[in-house]
Amino acid sequence: MTQSTTIYPQRVRNDLRFRELSVLRSERISAGFQRVVLGGEALDGFTSRGFDDHTKVFFPEPGVPFVPPTVTDEGIVWPNNVRPASRDYTPLYDEARHELALDFFIHDGGVASRWAQQAGEGDMLTIGGPRGSLVVPLNYAYQLYVCDESGMPALRRRLETLRDAGQHAQIVAIVTVGDPACQDYLAHLDNADIHWVVGHHEAAIEAQLAALTLPGEDYFIWITGEGKTVKNLSRRFESEAFDPQLVRAAAYWHNK
Is residue 76 left, alpha or beta, with left meaning phi > 0 and alpha meaning psi from -120 to 50? Answer: beta
Query: Which value, to the nearest 10 degrees, does the dihedral of the CA atoms of residues 162, 45, 101, 205 take?
Result: 50
Residue 3 has pLDDT above 70, yes or no: no
pLDDT for 80:
78
pLDDT at 1 over 70: no
The 10s digit of each residue's pLDDT in 81-106 is 788 889 999 999 999 999 999 999 99
Instruction: Dump pLDDT digits (tens) for 17-64.
Output: 999 999 999 999 999 999 999 999 999 999 999 999 999 999 888 777
Rounded to two decimals, the pTM is 0.94
| Residue 4, pLDDT above cutoff 70 | no
| Predicted confidence (pLDDT) per residue in 151-162, tens digit | 999 999 999 999
Q: Are 159 and 150 in contact (CB under 8 A)?
A: no
Question: What is the SS3 string spanning 50-113?
Answer: CCCCCEEEEECCCCCCCCCCEEECCEEECHHHCCCEEEEECCEEECCCCEEEEEEECCCCCHHH
Average pLDDT, the chain: 93
Q: What is the set of domains in the chain, with CATH numbers?
A: 11-132 (2.40.30.10), 136-253 (3.40.50.80)
> Predicted confidence band at 2 (pLDDT cuts at 50, 70, 90)?
very low
